[in-house]
Amino acid sequence: MKPISLIRGFVTVGVWTLLSRILGFVRDIMIAAFLGAGPVAEAFLIAFSLPNMFRRFFAEGAFNMAFIPIFSKKLEKNDGAGEFARDAFAGMALLLTGFTALGVIFMPGLVWLMASGFAEDNRFDLATQYGRIAFPYILFISLSALISGVLNATGRFMAAAAAPVLLNVIFITAVIAAILTGASEAAHPDRVIGMTLAWAVPVGGIAQLALVWLAARRAGYDFRPRRPRLTPDLKRLAAIAAPAALAGGVVQINLLIGRQVASHFDGAVAWLSYADRLYQLPLGVVGIAIGVVLLPDLSRRLGANDTAGGRDAFNRAAEVTLALTIPAAVALIAIPVPLVSVLFERGAFTSDDTAATALAVAVYGLGLPAFVLQKVLQPLYFAREDTRRPFFFAVVAMLINAALAVGLASVIGYLGAAFGTTLAAWAMVVLLWRGSRGMGDAAVLDDRFRRRFWRILVASAVMGVVVWWLAAGMTLLLGAATIRYAALLFLVVVGIVTYFGVGQLVGAFQISEFRSAMRRR
């Protein structure tokens, strides 16, 4: 994949991921308005997070990070890539069908492991009920992730990137349907909406699987059900995937620790979840897009012994990642209150919820570059089928996170969980970077990256000062119900213009590079 193709693939994935995140915001705005940070909201958020957490292990973490390099190399050598993909699909379907059944049966135990603080009140029973309905999502979304890996490895990014949009459309439709059919007149309207959302989860998973399944068929890959068979390639895949289960899902594991701590503080699970949505926007658009495009590209280049091409791909991915992530992090730190109040403060979501969520947003903002840099550094290992070192790095990061989250909880409450997640993410980046030193030229930062990095910091700092000063002067406008959306949009636009204008002037990047990528996406 040529550099411009790498950026084009990144833009394709990024645009669709951006649309998904925007619809995700609409979904969360509706949930916050009707459920606030109350027990039903917290119960649903825990129930939904369970299949999503395991998805990171089985699909995007363990399986796909091990599957894509092997599939890409087989594709490069024309060595039975399609048959290998079908075998992997059949094996995953069998494994996850059994795991799904166990999860539904032992859901009370899973809820307790995720949020033991719920055992003290009715949130536990609600989360268990919602969790049993939502948990089959892991089967559908994991199979969808495998097929998406096949599409991405063959350079077909659109269907896989568009699939998450369906889930959010179904969520939004479900909430609207619940309201229109009289949920607001029920004895417990929040529980009616919570149950509707729980059923929307597996329905969304089926829709996503259907979309990528059809796209794969059009591309010549048939994933009809077949009897699983344990081939030498699948044995090799399993050996690589086992340690990757932790390495690829380290962010989710750290969030699990955070939710466990937060469950002992009323409302904190919801506050951290809404804050998570804000920093997941740039993380999804930039980090996931880079990871999806970079891993297959690096795997092909390393398989062809193209070290120079691999180094250029790595450096351009790191450069684009930081050029888009650092200013986003600065914005989350500089103006968290306006962002949270405009997006979420309405209905059941109060000003106290805004203040608590904004503090978590700022803390997560400090870690945003680290969360995204992991997506750039991990492919250096996975492309070499090295999952053992990321495994050990992830263990260290988890221990750091657990120690900080639990230790700080008695001092700063639920924010201990946010600080633990952020500092553990930076520890993971340091470990991944130090470990990449022995990989040769492919992991070496080139002169262009070094030259532009400091300029990106300067442009981001200027933008941060401008939006902070402007937000302070727009307090009344940002709080006015009729024009606060327009005021926030104006604030964001000024920030974007400032950042790209200063960045162009100081040589942090060339705007023409982004325009070229957009024209060719």
Please state the domain extents for the chain.
3-445, 455-521
- 238 has a pLDDT exceeding 80: no
The mean pLDDT value of the chain amounts to 82
For residues 299 and 9, what is the distance between their CA atoms, to the nearest angstrom? 15
Helix (H, G, I), strand (E, B) or coil at 239: helix
d(CA 287, CA 250): 14
Name the percent of the chain lying above pLDDT 70. Answer: 83
Is the pLDDT at 413 greater than 70, yes or no? yes
CA geometry: angle 158, 164, 169, nearest 5 deg: 115
Q: What is the mean pLDDT of residues 14-43?
A: 83
**β strands within 235-384, DSSP E:** none
**Phi/psi of residue 225, each to 5°?**
-60, 140
pLDDT tens digits along 170-191 = 999 998 888 888 766 666 788 8
Strand, helix or coil at 346? coil
d(CA 496, CA 396): 37
Higher-scoring residue by pLDDT: 438, 34: 34
What is the rounded CA–CA span in Å between residue 247 and residue 394? 5
User: Residue 315: which of 330, 301, 333 has the closest Cα?
Assistant: 301
Nearest to 301 by CA among 217, 379, 405: 379
> CA dist 284 to 17, 53, 369, Å?
6, 15, 12
The conformation of residue 38, written as its DSSP 8-state character, comes to S
How far apart, in whole angstroms, are the C-alpha atoms of residue 457 and residue 465? 12
Q: Please tell me which residue, 511 or 11, carries the higher pLDDT value.
A: 511
pLDDT at 9: 56
Percent residues over pLDDT 90 in the chain: 31
Nearest Cα to Cα of residue 102 among 136, 55, 142:
136
Query: Between the CA atoms of 143, 146, 148 and 152, what dihedral angle is there, to the nearest 10 degrees?
Result: 180
The model's pLDDT over 473-520, given as tens digits with 9 standing for 90+, comes to 998 888 887 898 899 999 999 999 999 999 999 988 877 665 554 444
pLDDT of residue 479: 83
If you search the block for the tokens 């351009």, which residue do you land on?
316
Q: Are 255 and 263 in contact (CB under 8 A)?
A: no
pLDDT confidence of 2, banded at 50, 70, 90?
very low
Nearest to 191 by CA among 27, 26, 346, 43: 43
DSSP state of 483: T
* Residue of 45, 429, 95 lying closest to 251 (CA atoms): 429
The residue among 200, 178, 183 whose CA lies nearest residue 130 is 200
Task: Note the pLDDT tens digit of each residue in 210-230.
Answer: 999 998 888 888 888 778 788
pLDDT band at 466 (very low <50, low <70, confident <90, very high): very high
Overall average pLDDT of the 159-178 stretch:
87
Q: Are 229 and 90 in contact (CB under 8 A)?
A: yes
Q: How far is the CA of 391 from the CAs of 13, 71, 288, 507, in angstroms?
A: 27, 21, 19, 38
Neighbours of 457 (CB within 10 A): 16
**CA distance to 3, 5, 184, 515, 518, per residue, from 11 (Å):** 12, 10, 41, 10, 7
Q: Which of 61-70, 167-176, 221-230, 252-261 is the least confident region?
A: 61-70
Q: How far is CA 252 from the centre of its chain?
A: 9
Q: What is the pLDDT of residue 248?
A: 53
Contact 36, 353 (CB under 8 A): yes
Residues in the chain: 521
User: Does residue 63 surpass a pLDDT of 70?
Assistant: no
Structure tokens at 241: 């995937």
For residue 22, the tally of other CB atoms under 10 A from its CB is 14
* Among 39, 414, 408, 318, residue whose Cα is nearest residue 190: 39
Secondary structure percentages of the chain, helix, strand, coil, to 5: 85, 0, 15
Q: What is the arithmetic mean of pLDDT over 124-143?
A: 93
Residue bearing the bigger pLDDT, 316 or 485:
485
Instruction: Please tell me what DSSP assigns to residue 119.
Output: G
Contacts of 257 (CB under 8 A, 6+ apart): 398, 401, 402, 405, 417, 420, 421
* Structure token pair of residue 464: 């941060």
For residue 67, what are the CA distances in angstroms to 25, 71, 91, 147, 298? 31, 6, 12, 11, 14
SS3 label, residue 231: coil
pTM summary value = 0.73
Closest CA to 395 of 237, 257, 260: 257
